[in-house]
Structure 1
């Protein structure tokens, strides 16, 4: 059975950097994020790694792992939200004490999705793929992003519903700060392959494909055992987002996932909007999606609210989900059971 943490009002958030920390010249962003949590009634405990960054990581792997282990085992901490992602979270996995992890939410995306997926696969504890802490610092927040709080406050046995966003942000504009953080200017359209409308049901799993693909063949990427041990062989809905890969690299990664058995008993795949997906010799990302749909015989939806082109849904690894897409709009219902 999947274990679902529960986020209460007034909860204490642990802030640690299992991948990248925050450079000194950006510390004000972290301070603003901590203040915003406090204004919403949350307490916080900030680890040293959150304020550190050198050579593509906040600290050496063992130091990052120790701080994270301490927060997992600290009964005073109810949830863990890193500042943001990074590049080398995978270095800490062999140092994590998975058998000592207490049931508490971990929220984030990008490189943090390596931790999210590994934790759910190893322990059966649900994890939350969604907004990073730094992106919660705004005075105002759009409805899609704001859903993270009610999603994590859903009780076991209950469900919550999310809808595709009205608009998304095409480009980051760090030189044009606003109370909203994001600049949502482009109409959101969820797209489908081969069918105008799509329905899929299954357990959600996924993350940033650039990094979670490296779990394949390791003790932290055993999807088959997870299916048998924790979800009774329920089918999986994979959600994936591409941060930096070309279409051919994406294709290679998807084939690797298929050959590794990750798509066995898969009921559908959701692809997030991407700032990447650079075409190669006329090979477009729609070609990748179409070929995969034909090979696997499952529905594929793309350009959903997930990943590095905000805003994004809060998708719970391990949750039972129903996804309905029609006329460019999507509805995702997640049940904690």
Structure 2
């Protein structure tokens, strides 16, 4: 059975960097996010790693893991939100004691998704794929991003419904942030490989495919054991987002997952919008999705609100979900059961 954490409206939020920290010239971003959350009644507790960055790491793997575990086991901290992602989160997994981990929300995306998925697969504790700390610094949150509060304050047994965004951000412009941080200019359209309406249900699992495709074959990526132990062999509804992989790299990663058995009990796959979907010799992302759909004989939905083209929904690893796409609009209903 999946265990669902929950937070209160005045929760203390721990900010630690399991991957990349924030260099000194960008410390104002941390302060801005802390101010916004404090104004909303939250308390913010920073770890040392949030403020440091040397080349591609906030600190050594051992230091990052130790600070994360300290926050996970600090009863005063109700949830953890890393500043952002990074490059080498995988380094810390061998230093995380999954058997001595309290039940609390961890929220983030990008490189952080490897930690999220590892926690859920290893412990059965639900984790939250969604906004990171830096992106909460705006004067207000767009409707899609803002759902993180409603989702993470839900209790076991509750049902949370989210709908697709109206508009999304095509390109980042860090020099000219808007009042909600993002530049939401493009019309959102959820698509299906079948070009028809789709309804899919299953247990959600996923993350940034660039990083989580390294988990199959490790102690942190045993999907078969997770299904048997925590799901009673219920089907999995996967969601992925591609940050930097070429379309051929995406295809290779999906083949690796398939050969590792990740898709053996799969009801469908969803893909987030991606800036990396440049065709290789005419081989584009839609061709990758179509081949996967035909091979696995499952529906594939793409361009959902997930990943590096914000805004993004808060998707809960381990939650039972019903997803419906019709006429370009999407609905995700998550059951905390």
Normalised-by-shorter TM-score class: over 0.9
How many pairs were matched up? 337
**Runs (4+) of structure 1 moved beyond 2 Å?**
none
Instruction: Tell me which residue corresponds to 2:116.
Output: 116
Q: TM-score, normalised by structure 1?
A: 0.99
Note the alpha carbon deviations across 1:14-62, whole angstroms, 9 max, x for none.
1000000000000000011111111111111110000000020100000
Q: How far apart, in 1, do the equivalents of 2:165 and 2:70 lie?
A: 37
Q: Secondary structure at the match of 2:213?
A: helix
Note the alpha carbon deviations across 1:198-222, whole angstroms, 9 max, x for none.
0001000000000000111100000
Instruction: Tell me which residue corresponds to 1:203.
Output: 203
Note the alpha carbon deviations across 1:282-327, whole angstroms, 9 max, x for none.
1011100000000000000000000000000000000000000010
Note the alpha carbon deviations across 1:225-253, whole angstroms, 9 max, x for none.
00000111110000000000110000000
Note the alpha carbon deviations across 1:73-127, whole angstroms, 9 max, x for none.
1111100000000000000000001111100000000000000000000000000
Q: Secondary structure at the match of 2:131?
A: coil
Q: How far apart, in 2, do the equivalents of 1:176 and 1:51 lie?
A: 23
Instruction: Tell me which residue corresponds to 1:173.
Output: 173
Q: Secondary structure at the match of 2:214?
A: helix
Instruction: Tell me which residue corresponds to 1:313.
Output: 313
Q: How far apart, in 2, do the equivalents of 1:255 and 1:195 lie?
A: 24
> What is the 5 A alignment of 1:1-337?
1-337=1-337
Note the alpha carbon deviations across 1:264-286, whole angstroms, 9 max, x for none.
11000000000102211110111
**Which stretch of the first structure deviates more once superposed, 176-185 or 300-309?**
176-185
Q: TM-score, normalised by structure 2?
A: 0.99
Would the aligned equivalents of 1:245 and 1:278 in 2 still touch at CA under 8 Å? no
Q: How far apart, in 2, do the equivalents of 1:10 and 1:178 lie?
A: 26
Q: Compute the displacement of 1:178 (Å).
A: 2.1
Q: Secondary structure at the match of 1:215?
A: coil
**Which stretch of the first structure deviates more once superposed, 207-216 or 190-199?**
190-199
Q: How far apart, in 2, do the equivalents of 1:209 and 1:178 lie?
A: 29
Q: How far apart, in 2, do the equivalents of 1:93 and 1:197 lie?
A: 39
Would the aligned equivalents of 2:177 and 2:183 in 1 still touch at CA under 8 Å? no
Q: Secondary structure at the match of 1:255?
A: helix
Structure 2 unpaired stretches of 5+: none
Q: How far apart, in 1, do the equivalents of 2:7 and 2:198 lie?
A: 32
Would the aligned equivalents of 2:158 and 2:335 in 1 still touch at CA under 8 Å? yes
Q: How far apart, in 2, do the equivalents of 1:176 and 1:137 lie?
A: 13
